[in-house]
Amino acid sequence: MVSGDGAAGLPPIAALRRDFIWGVSTSAFQIEGATHEDGRGLSIWDMRCQRGEISNRDTADIACDHYHRYPEDIALMQQLGLQAYRFSVAWPRVLPQGRGAANEAGLAFYDRLIDALLAAGIEPWLCLYHWDLPQALEDLGGWTARDCAGWFADYAALVASRYGDRVKRFATFNEPSIFTLFGYGFGGAAEGAAGMDKMHRAIHHVNLAHGAAVDAVRHHAPGSSIGAIHNYQACLPSTPADTQAAAICDAYWNRVFPDPQCLGSYPPLLQAAMEPYIQPGDLERIKRPVDWFGLNHYGPKYVGTDANSLLGFGFGANPPELPLTPIGWPIDANSFRDVLLTVAKTYALPIYVLENGLGGFDKPDETGAIVDDNRIDYLRSYIGALNAAVAAGADIRGYFVWSLLDNFEWDSGLGVRFGLTYIDYPTLKRTPKSSFHWYKNVIETARKIRP
Ligand code: FCB
């Protein structure tokens, strides 16, 4: 147990384990840039950018230029005193066509990154899929094709056998419910046209891909610690009439991946919808033993009935008294505590919080400093809520801020900033924000109290 309560401006951390892991998270497409370099293939998100579908017509062609500037970024991580860094491998960088011939130059980039992290004393946490499906596979149906599970397992085997001597933490998917729901349910995202049949197919195939990848990683990187990363947020009715809509949203948003992966069945509300896609043995293929539950959380969702949405629900009005982040996401640390307790009880796995943070429109002041007190307040209250969940019995073993750097925030492009570090996109100069110094202090204090 560590105790940091009362330290000026720091969150309570008294209940945390002494080996609690402090980290930050990023993803390949959002930071790497170099999208046309060293033989990288195209992903569905490159295509979405090329079609001009991103706010301000931004692209991720340069993003943070992490592909070239990773040593500088690792120096920032060292400055923070991090124990762990979560990143993702870009599937089209290592397998430009998604399958078949591997791209040695792409594989070598992650060798350099991993070696430099280890030399800096930072544990690499490798996520296999953060939404950047190779376009060549999308052309074959992408996640709507059952074969995609096998393509993913082959990719997982390649990555695990290449890096498994140095990487011990592997995640299969980041937020599968977000890319399947937005890709096929709400429509208009990178995965192509919407449709309930496509969405249910994709959900089931991603679940199969997860199970197959767990087996592949266990085989090729024996002794590694494996999990998946799920977004999990309270889905609450906007009005009493929206109770059913909120329950359906909860089943898709929170449960349609962790339930079959960890409990071996689809949520009762969705069983009939999923039934047509399940072949004999599939649920056993999906529920492979994992070591932890990766949880991403930002704030609760208020759900409204929407007859015009394929899904029958949409996002409704937030309660007027609820504070919002600059990009309009509700702030409710108590809801985070409750989610942590629910996840701990439902899935009975150790939890790592692998994303949490605040999105805004940060700008340097006249002195060049980026004063993001709103982000500090947010992080303080959420880390405090995590501490409260641990005190109430949840087994939580780490916390990773989203994100190390401002980066390409999907449809919002480069305009929305989640970083502890400010990126001046024209020059790519990195400037730690106030929250960076604050988080460094949290980590230092936690480690000083119980080294
Ligand atoms: C999550 C994504 C991550 C980032 C944050 C703000 O849903 O996993 O890539 O965009 O939201």
Q: Which residues contact 395 (CB under 8 A, 6 or more apart)?
A: 344, 349, 350, 351
Q: Where do we find the tokens 């692998």?
A: 354
* pLDDT value of residue 187: 73
- How far, in Å, CA of 125 to CA of 171, rounded? 8
Residue 381: Cβ within 10 Å count: 17
Minimum-distance ligand 1 atom for the alpha carbon of 357? 6
Confidence grade of residue 327 (pLDDT, cut at 50, 70, 90): very high
* pLDDT value of residue 191: 74
Q: Is the CA virtual torsion 219, 221, 223, 224 positive or negative?
A: negative
Range 114-129 average pLDDT: 99
Strand partners, 295: 230, 353
Q: Ligand 1 centre from 87 Cα, in Å? A: 12
Q: Ligand 1 centre from 293 Cα, in Å? A: 17
Confidence grade of residue 451 (pLDDT, cut at 50, 70, 90): low
37 as an active site residue: the answer is: no
Q: Is the peptide bond before 403 cis (omega within 30 degrees of 0)?
A: yes
Confidence grade of residue 110 (pLDDT, cut at 50, 70, 90): very high
Give the phi and the psi of residue 347 in degrees, each rounded to 5.
-105, -10
Give yes or no for residue 91 having a pLDDT over 90: yes
* Residue owning the nearest CA to atom 10 of ligand 1: 409
Q: Ligand 1 centre from 47 Cα, in Å? A: 19
Confidence grade of residue 190 (pLDDT, cut at 50, 70, 90): confident
Q: Which CATH class is domain 6-449?
A: alpha beta
From 355, 400, 416, give the residue whose CB has the most ligand 1 atoms within 8 Å, as the site to mutate: 355
Minimum-distance ligand 1 atom for the alpha carbon of 418? 6
Give yes or no for residue 408 having a pLDDT over 50: yes
191 as an active site residue: the answer is: no
* 407 touches 69 (CB < 8 A): no
Q: Which of 139, 173, 127 is nearest to 286 (CA)?
A: 173
pTM: 0.97
Q: Ligand 1 centre from 332 Cα, in Å? A: 18
CA distances to 47, 295, 425 from 35, in Å: 11, 28, 16
* Residue owning the nearest CA to atom 5 of ligand 1: 402
Mean pLDDT of the chain: 96
Delimit the domains of the chain by residue range: 6-449
From 30, 296, 411, give the residue whose CB has the most ligand 1 atoms within 8 Å, as the site to mutate: 296
* Residue owning the nearest CA to atom 2 of ligand 1: 175
Measured in whole angstroms, how far is the alpha carbon of residue 4 from the centre of its chain?
28
Q: Which of 310, 315, 304 is nearest to 243 (CA)?
A: 304
